Amino acid sequence: MKNKLEKILQNRELNLVFLILILLVVVTMRAPDFLELKNVERIVNDTAILIMVASGQFLVILTGGIDLSVGAIIAFSGMAASMVNQYNPEMPVSLILLFGILVGTALGAFNGACVAYGKIPPVITTLGTMSIFRGLTFTMSNGQWVTAHEMTNAYMDIPKGRMLLIPNLTVWAILIFIIMFYFIRFTRHGREIYAIGGNKIAAHFVGVSEKKVSFMVFTILGALCGVAGVMWTARYAAAVNETAAGFELQTIAACVLGGVSMAGGSGALTGVVLGALFLGIINNALPVVNLSPFYQMAIQGFVVLAAIVANVLMEQRNEKKILSGRRQ
């Protein structure tokens, strides 16, 4: 019994679940209707895009890299898809969605090629492409926006429609989560990502190609950003040049909260999703508990820091326990 309890305490994801529960209790004490089904559905739907992109960012961080250009890829692919929709209103939205994904994949592949085959460190590559893609978005749209009345209803319904009573956007996030979960856990390429992040040299000697893996993770992240770009512009019914500015930091924060090591090689997808949900709950809770929006940023920063510190302290305590256990 005691062993079981300790095992639960050692589980990083469960720690995060506890933190989320504490957060929920605090919020519901001040706003009892926070946990109504409708509101929960809204929170999950609001977090869906973050979950998608963060799970891609997770792969990149697993290899020891980082992608700072996700916000720019989302903006570019979203703008590209919206403009196709604007000028070809008859085109089926499934094709447009596919087009958006392809654009995102291409941009992600460019990042991947620079990192894998050009040997440019990921931070430098994506710091550069962050500017390039954002600038190209502006050039492509000529600084114009695509607004709600220039989009077709079918396009705006991509995330808003419902499948089995669940909003499409949430369905997409769940689907992506399942696919990614399977990919990371049960396929060879998924395990190779962990191998590269854990020990590059060892991975090389067992025949894992670092180049192929890092190209792959950036391309997958690009594809997910492509989905996110279409969803984002359709959901908010506007494609602007500043779409998703600063979003890269949110995806990294979700990973860090979820216990993913920035050095690569360790972390779990469930942790990342919980981290994203944690951020989503904070974002949704602050207006509900009647806090001035001006406080939002400070509280978000404080809570993120507090959660990271709590997570690290729990982990260090567990490590000590494991060590003292061994000594006995």
Interface of this chain with other proteins, residues 287 to 316, rule: CB under 8 A: 292, 294-302, 304-305, 308-309, 312-313, 316
Map residues 225-244 to x or -, x wherever contact with other proteins holds by CB under 8 A.
--------------------
Q: What is the DSSP track for 130-199?
A: HHHHHHHHHHHHTT--B-GGGS-HHHHHHHHSEETTEEHHHHHHHHHHHHHHHHHHHSHHHHHHHHHHH-
Q: How far is the CB of 83 from other proteins (least distance, A)?
A: 17
Q: Give the nearer residue to other proteins in terms of CB position, either 66 or 195.
A: 66
Q: Give the nearer residue to other proteins in terms of CB position, either 108 or 167.
A: 108
Residues 6 or more apart from 163 whose CB is under 8 A from it?
Answer: 171
Could you give phi then psi for residue 167, rounded to 5 degrees?
Answer: -60, 140
Interface stretch with other proteins, choices 52-60, 164-172, 177-185, 260-268 (CB under 8 A)? 260-268
Residues that bind other proteins (rule: CB under 8 A) add up to a total of 46
State which of residues 153, 262, 287, 317 lies at the interface with other proteins (CB under 8 A): 262
Q: Give the nearer residue to other proteins in terms of CB position, either 29 or 312.
A: 312
Q: Give the nearer residue to other proteins in terms of CB position, either 91 or 308.
A: 308
State which of residues 125, 168, 170, 233 lies at the interface with other proteins (CB under 8 A): 125
Could you give phi then psi for residue 146, rounded to 5 degrees?
Answer: -105, 115
Q: How far is the CB of 66 from other proteins (least distance, A)?
A: 8
CA distances from 145 to 133, 139, 214 (A): 16, 12, 34
Interface of this chain with other proteins, residues 68 to 97, rule: CB under 8 A: 68
Strand, coil or helix: 105 = helix
Beta bridge partners of 16: none
Alpha-carbon distance of 230 to 253, in angstroms, equals 23
Q: How far is the CB of 261 from other proteins (least distance, A)?
A: 8
Q: How far is the CB of 128 from other proteins (least distance, A)?
A: 4
Residue 253 binding other proteins, by CB under 8 A: yes
- Pair 282, 303: CB distance under 8 Å: yes
CA 59 from chain center: how many Å? 10
Residue 175 binding other proteins, by CB under 8 A: no
- Both tokens of 16, joined, read 């995060």
- Pair 98, 81: CB distance under 8 Å: no
Map residues 130-159 to x or -, x wherever contact with other proteins holds by CB under 8 A.
xxx-xxx-xx---x----------------
Report the candidate in 44, 59, 270, 54 with the shortest Cα–Cα distance to residue 165. 44
Q: How far is the CB of 129 from other proteins (least distance, A)?
A: 6
Angle at 171 between CA 169 and CA 175, to 5 degrees: 120
Residue whose pair of structure tokens reads 């993913």 in the numeric block: 260
Q: Give the nearer residue to other proteins in terms of CB position, either 138 or 145.
A: 138
State which of residues 31, 91, 120, 174 lies at the interface with other proteins (CB under 8 A): 120
List of residues contacting other proteins (CB under 8 A)? 66, 68, 114, 118-121, 123-125, 127-132, 134-136, 138-139, 143, 249, 252-253, 256, 261-263, 292, 294-302, 304-305, 308-309, 312-313, 316
